[in-house]
Structure 1
Amino acid sequence: MNTGKSGIKTAVSSALRCGALAGVLALNVAGVQANDLDTIKANKVVRVAIDLGAPPFATKDNTLKPIGSDVETAELLANDLGVALEIVPTTGANRVPFLLTNKADLVVASFSITPEREKVVAFSVPYAAIQAVVGAPKDMNIRTLEDLVGKTVISTRGTTNDIAITKQALPGTNILRFDDDATSITAVASGQGDIFATAPPLLKAINTKSSDRNMEPKILLSTAMLGIGLDKKSTDLKGWVDGWVRTNLKNGKLNDIYKKHHGSPLPENVLSAGK
């Protein structure tokens, strides 16, 4: 297994070719070594990258305490591993670079498992799922992708939602990208745009911030499995995390966390991983 400079350069080149990591060449990735299971246990802390601008997966409450399903998932993982949790705030675009540059040991950030990303980083077995949809106010007549032509669709750069709308949008559709979900949500809630390519829970977050928006899903773009992201070199850690996910799907703890924050149980194809 290549863990040196050439191996990381190869991974970065592959990511650039598949369009998953725009701008990664600006990062200094030479000689970076990933933390594996023994190192994390020795340090007595696991660094987990979480997007705190993506409710209900993760956000901050009125006291600035991190909350959400991904936060509780990371807390449970750290507790079962017997180490402290260090939350590393990230954005959708930074999830892969944070693993490649050893800024985080794990990524628990509504991280969809895609073939492009799997060329660069490793994923656990799925622990949750997420839909990518086009949302708009209830009274807005949008039913198909053709209805988006000539309109502006807000999207968060580097997310699966952004990838889905970019691939499926017809010519003449204007995509306005922001760097994180928190900024995108604020843009829609404040009326900078009416159409949002996102996940259904984020539409609810907009309605909470601005009740007159009355956002709802209009077009289903895709359904994706969510995994815990790891550096490909962290093989022992991946083995432990896979076993942990299966155990906590089987005992219902991950399903309880998901239902608490999303209002519905995990899909059956996720729950089956624990059987």
Structure 2
Amino acid sequence: MRSSHQRSTLSALALSLAVAVSAGGSAQAQDLTGTLKKIKETNAITIGYRDASVPFSYLDGDQKPVGYAFEICQKIAEAVKTNLKLPNLEVKLNPVTSATRIPLIANGTIDLECGSTTNNPDRQKQATFTNTHFLTATRFVAKKSAKLDKIEDLKGKTVVSTSGTTNIRQINEANTARNLGLTILPAKDHAEAFLMVETGRAAAFVMDDVLLASLAASSKEPGAYAISSEALSKPEPYGIMLRKDDAPFKAVVDEATAKLYKSPEGKALYDKWFTKPIPPRGINLNLPMSEAMAKQFATPSDSPDPAAY
């Protein structure tokens, strides 16, 4: 038989264990780290948006951010709100550019970057990405009347691409490898490059196909242009960017994006921005979902490797 002293020691031990267990339960709720902890403490999530990345993230006629990637980020914010049980979560908006997007993710100013950012091994050193929401490839746009569709069709012609892009490097490499005899002109920006095709100073403009679709759709004569069927690159994945080494936040975001892409809502969201008239001017990119993109939505991946698609 235990002495009363032993019994009181045991009951004290049981009580301290019960306290420890209940404290452990509440401690787990408090044991948030990284972005989730920051969002919980501030009751706010900050979305970084682009002002002119049509149709991913851009300003509409009222100067408010809209777009395909922007809507995906809003869905992610909803998932975070549910996960952290924050019914009044504030969604803050912060403009970013191609130069500021990575620094502002890294320093905690923004939590999600919504735009047309390519997920590649180089960027993986500085940030991480959720499941791919778009696959682009380098193609060219030309006037339909010129009947240029394959890279070989460009032989001996003058083409333009935007200076400092991977696209101009790719057309230079193809020119050498295929002995195309091209004259390759660098343009200061996409608008100048497209204007050179419009005015006949260049036969074709080499760039990401989605950007070409946007420029053609916004032009005076959208029906006068055609994008090549042949690509100069493998598919390049675009993803929503997050902070590096933040596995708990990435898990919430990955679950939210995978759920969206696999659902009929994901396909509807794609069609809304790529196959229908979009604000503010009602342009239509006429870019139906590719086979690779349909496969990506069925089995979402965050791989930076073009060969994975």
Same fold (TM over 0.5): yes
Is the 1:247–1:274 Cα contact (8 Å) retained in structure 2? no
- Counterpart in 2 of 1:74? 73
1:133 aligned to 2:139? yes
- Counterpart in 2 of 1:4? none
Give distance in 1, aligned partners of 2:41 and 2:170: 40
Give distance in 2, aligned partners of 1:131 and 1:38: 37
Which digits, 9 at most, give the CA deviation of each residue in 1:158-212, with x for residues without a partner? 5x6466446545486535254xxxx523652485765333333333332333233
Is the 2:79–2:253 Cα contact (8 Å) retained in structure 1? no
Matches within 5 A, 1:9-48: 36-48=35-47
Give distance in 2, aligned partners of 1:35 and 1:173: 50
Q: Are the structure 2 counterparts of residues 189 and 261 from structure 1 closer, same or farther at C-alpha, using a change threshold of 3 Å? A: farther
Equivalent residue in structure 2 for 1:111, among 117, 133, 147 = 117
Give distance in 2, aligned partners of 1:262 and 1:68: 10
Give distance in 1, aligned partners of 2:134 and 2:253: 14
Question: Which consecutive segments of 4 or more residues in structure 1 shift more than 4 A?
Answer: 160-169, 189-194
Q: Are the structure 2 counterparts of residues 175 and 189 from structure 1 closer, same or farther at C-alpha, using a change threshold of 3 Å? A: closer
More helix by percentage: 2
Give distance in 2, aligned partners of 1:137 and 1:244: 41
What is the TM-score when the length of structure 2 is the normalising length? Answer: 0.64
1:262 aligned to 2:264? no
TM-superposed CA distance for 1:262, in Å, is 1.0
TM-superposed CA distance for 1:269, in Å, is 2.4
* Range with greater deviation from structure 2 (144-153 or 215-224): 144-153
TM-superposed CA distance for 1:89, in Å, is 2.6
- Counterpart in 2 of 1:54? 53
Equivalent residue in structure 2 for 1:98, among 104, 124, 128 = 104
- CA RMSD of superposed structures (Å): 3.3
- Counterpart in 2 of 1:89? 95
- Counterpart in 2 of 1:228? 240
Which digits, 9 at most, give the CA deviation of each residue in 1:76-114, with x for residues without a partner? 222332233333333334433332343422222122222
TM-superposed CA distance for 1:225, in Å, is 2.3
- Counterpart in 1 of 2:186? 176
> What SS class does the counterpart of residue 137 from structure 2 fall into?
strand
Report the AA paired with residue 121 of structure 1: A
Is the 1:134–1:217 Cα contact (8 Å) retained in structure 2? yes
Q: Please say which structure displays the higher CA radius of gyration.
A: 2
Give distance in 2, aligned partners of 1:86 and 1:261: 23
Q: Are the structure 2 counterparts of residues 161 and 234 from structure 1 closer, same or farther at C-alpha, using a change threshold of 3 Å? A: farther
TM-superposed CA distance for 1:70, in Å, is 1.2
Equivalent residue in structure 2 for 1:249, among 249, 261, 266 = 261
> What SS class does the counterpart of residue 101 from structure 2 fall into?
helix
Report the AA paired with residue 37 of structure 1: L
TM-superposed CA distance for 1:45, in Å, is 2.5
Gaps of 5+ in 1: 1-33
Q: Are the structure 2 counterparts of residues 107 and 150 from structure 1 closer, same or farther at C-alpha, using a change threshold of 3 Å? A: same
1:210 aligned to 2:209? no
Equivalent residue in structure 1 for 2:160, among 153, 165, 169 = 153
Give distance in 1, aligned partners of 2:55 and 2:175: 26
TM-superposed CA distance for 1:151, in Å, is 2.8
Gaps of 5+ in 2: 1-32, 82-88, 276-287, 302-309
Which digits, 9 at most, give the CA deviation of each residue in 1:1-33, with x for residues without a partner? xxxxxxxxxxxxxxxxxxxxxxxxxxxxxxxxx
Report the AA paired with residue 151 of structure 1: T
Alignment coverage as a number of residue pairs: 237
Q: Are the structure 2 counterparts of residues 187 and 53 from structure 1 closer, same or farther at C-alpha, using a change threshold of 3 Å? A: farther
TM-superposed CA distance for 1:261, in Å, is 0.6
Give distance in 2, aligned partners of 1:199 and 1:163: 13
